[in-house]
Amino acid sequence: MKTTVLTRYFGLLANYLRPERSATVLLGILVAGGIVTQLAAPQLMGRFIDLIQTGASSSGLIRVAVLFVVAALARQALAALANYVGAGVGWRATNALRVDLLHHCLNLDMAFHAAHPPGEMVERIDSDVSQLAQFFSQFVIQVLANMLLVVGVLGVLIKTDWRAGAAVAVFTLASAVAVGPLTRANATLWADHRERVADLYAFLQERMAGTEDIQACGAKGYVMRQFHRVNRAEMRQRVKAGAIGAATTHNVTELLFALGVAGALAAGAALYSAGSVTIGTVYIIYSYSAMLAAPIRHLTRQIRDLQRAGGSIERIRELMLNDTHLEQATVDDLPVPVSGLIGVPEGEPLSVEFQAVSFRYPDDARGILPDAGTEEHRPTPDGGIGQRDTEAVLKGLSFRLEPGQILGLLGRTGSGKTTIARLLLRLYSPDTGAISICGRGGHPSMDIQDIPLGVLRSRIGLVTQDVQVFRATVRDNLTLFDPTVADDRLLEEIDQLGLWSWYSSLPQGLDTRLEPGGRGLSAGEAQLLAFLRILLRDPGLVILDEASSRLDPATERLIERAVDRLVADRTAIIIAHRLSTVARADVIMILDGGIVVEQGLRERLAAEPTSHFRRLLETGMEEVLR
C-alpha cells in the first residue's frame, strides 16, 4: 500500500474522530479488555489440562473452569459493546464528512457541476463515504485490536517458552512480509472499480431523469444496451479485482498459517518429548499459534479493503482539497461577510453595468450548458490543424441599465442571453471586463467581485422556465427552508398572485408535501411558485429567463399579472422568445454571437423603420434572428 494512501486515510480518520474523543477512549478500553480476556482463555485451558495431569482436586478444576467460562462470557460482552460503540463513532464521523462534502460541492462552480452528473455526485458523496464508514467504525476494533492481539500472543508465547515464542515471531514476520506485496498488487484494480461504479450511478441518474423522452422516442432498447455495457464494465472490474485478491492474498495466507500451526504442533511435541514443557504448555503453544492466524487474516483483509477504498479516499481528497482544476473554485467568495451593499437599502432597485465583458465557458461545459458556445481548431501557418480554440460567448459586451428600468433581452439560442444572468449571479466570473451594480441616489457603484456571494444573490432574483420543486412542504418550497418567514406573509403573497384557488385545494394547506420535479403541479402553478420565492426575498434586480416560454396563452395571462407585480419598482432583465413578454420593457437589447447588434428604448426602436426590433415586430423573431 502506498504511503500516501495511508497518510491520507489517517488524516481523514484523525480529523473526523477528534470530536469523538470520549467515545474513542471508551472504545479503546473495551478493545483492550477483549484482548485480555482472549489471551486469558488458552492460559486457563492449559492450567486445567495440567491440573488433570497432576491429579488435582475437583474444587481446583471447577475454579479454573468457572474462570474460563467467565472469561469467555466477558469476551463476548466486550466485543458486542465495542462493536456498538465503534459503529456509533463511525457513522457520526462519516455523517460529518458527508456534510462537509455536500457543503463544499454546493460552493463549487457551475463548470464542475456541468461536468459531473448528479448520479456521479451521489456516488462520490454517499457511496464513497459509506465505503469509509466501515473503516471509521472498525479500524480500532479490527486493525488496532488485531495488531495488539498479535503482540500480546507473541509476548505470552515468549514468556511461556522463549524458543517457541521466538520461532513463532519469526514465522509471523515472514508471513506478513510475504503477504504484503500481494495486497498491494490489486490496489489499482479496486480504484478502477470505484470509477466504474461512479459511471454506473451517473448513467442511471441521467437515463431515469429522461424516462419520458426515452419512452416517447422509442429509445428503450438503446438505453438498455448502454446499461448492459456500463453494468458489464463494472461487473468485470469487480470480478477481476476480487478474483485476483482471493487467488493470491487469501490462499497464500491460509497456506502459510496451516504450515505455521503444523510447525507449532511439531515444536511442542519435541519440547514435550524432551521434558522441557508440560502437556498443558504444549496446548498453550498450539492454541496461541492457531490464534495468530485470525488477526493476521483480519489485518490482511482490512489492508485489502483499505486498498479498495483507496479510490474513494483519493476522490474525497480531491473534492475537499481542490486538487484538480475542476474542483478548484474560480468564483472566490469574500472571507468577511457584510450586512449588505454599501449605502443601498434592501429592496431598492439596482443599476447594472457591464464594462467590456468577455467570457468563454470551460471546455467541460460545452455541449452540456445552453449558451456554452462552440469550439474549433486554430489553423497552423502551414494549413494544418493547430491548438483547439473555444469561441467566446460574450465579446466585449458593454451596456448600462438604470435603477427601475426593464431590459428586454432578445437573441437566438447561444447568443449569450443566459450567460449574462449567470455572470450577474457570479455562477461564473468574466474572463475580462467588469460588472458593477449600485442603487438610486448617487450611491457608489460596486464591482460584484467585491460583494459576498450570499449578499449579492440575495439582491438578485432569477426565475427560469425550469422550476426546481423539492420533496418538502409548500411552506418550505416557497421559503426555501427559511423558518423566519411568517405564514401570514405567505398567504398574502399567494392571494396577490392569484393562487388562492390552488391553495384552497391543498389538503393540508402550507403543510401539504409536494413531490420532486413538480409532479402534481401544472407548469403555470410551478412558475407562480418560483415568482413567489422571489417576491418573498424582495430583491432589487429580477431576471426572468424565458420564464413563460412553456405556458399556454390562458395560463400566460395569469403569469403576466404576476410578472407585473414582480417587476414593479424593481430593475428587471427579461430574456424572452415571445414578443409579448418584452412588451413591458423600457429598453431592448438584441444579441448575436456575443455582441450587441442593437440597443435602445423600446418605443424608439419600434418606430424606427430600419431597426432589427421593428423587423422583429413585423416578421417574427425567427425571421430576424436566424
Q: Which residues contact 449 (CB under 8 A, 6 or more apart)?
A: 426, 429, 434
How much is the pLDDT for 252?
Answer: 66
pLDDT band at 111 (very low <50, low <70, confident <90, very high): low
> pLDDT per residue over 232-276, tens digit each?
888 888 887 777 666 666 666 666 667 766 776 777 777 777 777
Whether residue 484 has pLDDT greater than 60: yes
Share of the chain above pLDDT 70, in %: 71
What is the reported pTM? 0.62
DSSP for 253-283, written as a single string: HHHHHHHHHHHHHHHHHHHHHTTSS-HHHHH
Lowest pLDDT segment from 95-104, 291-300, 329-338, 394-403: 329-338
Pick from 4-8, 92-96, 499-503, 598-602: least confident: 4-8
Domains of the chain, each with CATH number or no CATH: 3-321 (1.20.1560.10), 351-376+388-469+515-625 (3.40.50.300)
Q: Please give the pLDDT value at position 369.
A: 56
pLDDT of residue 616: 85
Lowest mean pLDDT among 94-103, 212-221, 337-346, 388-397: 337-346
Mean predicted confidence (pLDDT) in 452-475: 85
CA dihedral sign, ordered 85, 88, 94, 100: negative
- Residues with Cβ within 8 Å of 180's Cβ and at least 6 positions away in sequence, in order, are 303
pLDDT at 600: 93
* Mean pLDDT within 281-302: 74
Q: Are strands 432-438 and 394-401 parallel, antiparallel or unpaired?
A: unpaired
pLDDT tens per residue, range 255-265:
666 776 677 67
Q: Which residue reads 468457572 in cell numbers?
A: 66
Give tens-digit pLDDT for 145-157.
778 888 887 888 7
